[in-house]
Amino acid sequence: MAETKKLFIKTYGCQMNVYDSERMAEALGGNGYEEVSSAAEADMILLNTCHIREKAAEKIYSELGRMRDLKTAKPDLKIGIAGCVAQAEGAEIMRRQPMVDLVVGPQSYHRLPEMEARAGGGEKVLDTDFPEEDKFELLKARPKSKRGPTAFLTVQEGCDKFCAFCVVPYTRGAEVSRPVDRILTEARDLVARGVREITMLGQNVNAYHGAGTDGRDWTLARLIWELAEIDGLERLRFTTSHPNDMSDDLIDAHGRCEKLMPYLHLPVQSGSDHILKRMNRSHTRDSYLRLIDRIRTARPDILLSGDFIVGFPEETDADFRDTVRLIEEVGYGQAYSFKYSTRPGTPAAERGQIDDAVASERLAELQALITRQQRAVQDAMIGKEVGVLFEKAGRMPGQMVGKSDHLHAVHVDSDTLQPGDLRRVRIIGSNTNSLSGVVL
């Protein structure tokens, strides 16, 4: 029998990369690889990279610099770059870091086993195509037998929206939805292996329009209702969404589908109509606020999450104030804010950039506001009863941690709870990044 080789994968960026890394590990299992948790013992290191902001790509190059010693100590060590930096930089990576053996873009992961075999023979291999075939269908390998209680499942990939700041349409390609039957098969398989909560992933997941089991295209809402029929699957989530694709049936599902959790990540990016227009967002501040009203009418306790960019080209103080006011008006339970980062090849990269110190000041102000809001939303949970899906032991002895319906981390004292247990919990305390509760 062939000796098992050791694979170390480091994942950067979004949840879809986490999902992709799992699938790549499974696929390479077929080539005799077993995953390990340290780079030092690996025969192959795979960096699954993110290109969304500048620092992300620079991090990869410095990580590669640090790996030079490993490669010197073990000349047979193979180093591969996957993900969005691989897609965007392609052969440039091997030019800049000749010790890289393999570069694979996100749409070519099903070709990884064959690429690994060629790299093993000493070849330098690169694949950043956007092939026609269904990579997920071809990514069948050796699934892990048992799983934790939560899992990601990609249902849609890519984006056709072309926001002026964003590289995603170029790195992940055009919007594609997976067919419903494949998603259902994968979901049932996950549930059979212990999964009780699935987060459906897509760069534009609410634009989902995959081929349904009746031959028609299904919406995300229709898919949610179908997944909700699976026995043993208790919770559904999805991320990440665009305001323009928040259809009536999806809002209705938020109001009526018990398994769909009351949490919605719906990035708006800016509160200024002028900036939204320059971002090519094709919605306004007002249309977004009206949408939020409708969602809250359908599901009053929904926790809203968002993404914000500050320092976008031409952003004035007044534009920034509009964003601050919007955040104050909506009240987010969770929000992520970023300083605008120029991405080569995107329309906004061609425009006059604003002063970095001004952008940093705005970012600090926004983050302080968001932190206060998050804490206020958390504190307001005290005394409430929520569902918690327990995932693992906490840091303190006798403690278990899980996620609430609203995606807050919750810890309780218990000697009997197991990972995968879903319980009603009364919240009794709020800390910096988590809540504490008692099982009812």
Residues within the interface to ligand SF4 (CB under 6 A): 159, 161-163, 166, 168-169, 203-204, 242
Which residue, 247 or 414, has its beta carbon nearer to ligand SF4?
A: 247
For residue 288, state whether it binds ligand 5AD (rule: CB under 6 A).
no
What is the closest distance, in whole angstroms, from the C-beta atom of residue 314 to ligand SF4 in the complex? 18
The dihedral region occupied by 81, where left means phi > 0, alpha psi between -120 and 50, and beta the remainder, is beta
Q: Name the pairing type of β-strands 263-265 and 385-393.
A: unpaired
Partner from ligand SF4, ligand 5AD, none binding residue 162, C-beta < 5-8 Å depending on class: ligand SF4
- Which residue in the set 136, 165, 263, 288 belongs to the binding site for ligand 5AD (CB under 6 A)? 165
Distance between CA atoms of residues 96 and 104, nearest Å: 16
Of 21-29, 112-120, 338-346, 428-436, the segment contacting ligand 5AD by CB under 6 A is 338-346
What order of strands is seen across the sheet that includes strand 197-201?
Answer: 150-154, 197-201, 235-239
Sign of the alpha-carbon dihedral angle for 27, 30, 31, 33: positive
String of contacts with ligand 5AD for each residue 53-92, x by CB under 6 A: x---------------------------------------
**How many CB atoms are closer than 10 A to CB 158?**
21
Query: Helices in 150-232 by DSSP H: which ranges?
Result: 168-171, 180-192, 220-227
Burial of 26-56, coded b for 16+ CB within 10 Å and e otherwise, reads bbbbebebebeeebeebbbbbbbbbbbbeeb
In the bound state with ligand SF4, the residue whose beta carbon lies nearer, of 105 and 169, is 169
Figure out which of the listed residues 20, 340, 412, 437 binds ligand 5AD, where binding follows CB under 6 A: 340
Tell me which of ligand 5AD, ligand SF4, none is bound by residue 343, counting a contact when its beta carbon lies within the kind-specific cut-off of 5 to 8 angstroms.
ligand 5AD
For ligand 5AD, the closer CB: 166 or 388: 166
Task: Please check if 159 is assigned to a binding site.
Answer: yes
Return the one option of ligand SF4, ligand 5AD, none that residue 341 interacts with (CB less than 5 to 8 A, by type).
ligand 5AD
CB 143 within 8 A of CB 193: yes
Neighbour-count burial for 261-272, b at 16+ CB within 10 Å, e otherwise: bbbbbbbbbbbb
- Quickly list DSSP for 287-331: HHHHHHHHHHHH-TTPEEEEEEEES-TT--HHHHHHHHHHHHHH-
Among the candidate windows 99-107, 191-199, 322-330, 333-341, which touches ligand 5AD by CB under 6 A?
A: 333-341
Binding pattern for the stretch 394-433 against ligand 5AD, x by CB under 6 A and - elsewhere: ----------------------------------------
Phi, psi (5° rounding) for residue 81?
Answer: -120, 125
Q: Give the type of residue at 258.
A: E
Residue type, 87: Q
Among 24, 44, 52, 191, binds ligand 5AD (CB under 6 A): 52
Out of ligand SF4, ligand 5AD, none, which partner does residue 241 contact, by CB within 5 to 8 A per kind? none
Q: Is 163 annotated as a binding residue?
A: yes
Find the shortest distance in angstroms from Cβ 252 to ligand SF4.
Answer: 23
CB 262 within 8 A of CB 303: yes
Does the annotation place 166 within a ligand binding site?
yes
Residues 97-156 that bind ligand 5AD (CB under 6 A): none
Size of the site for ligand 5AD (CB under 6 A): 12
Annotated binding-site residues for [4Fe-4S] cluster read 14, 50, 84, 159, 163, 166
Name the residues that contact ligand 5AD, by CB under 6 A: 52-53, 165-166, 267, 269, 307, 309, 338, 340-341, 343
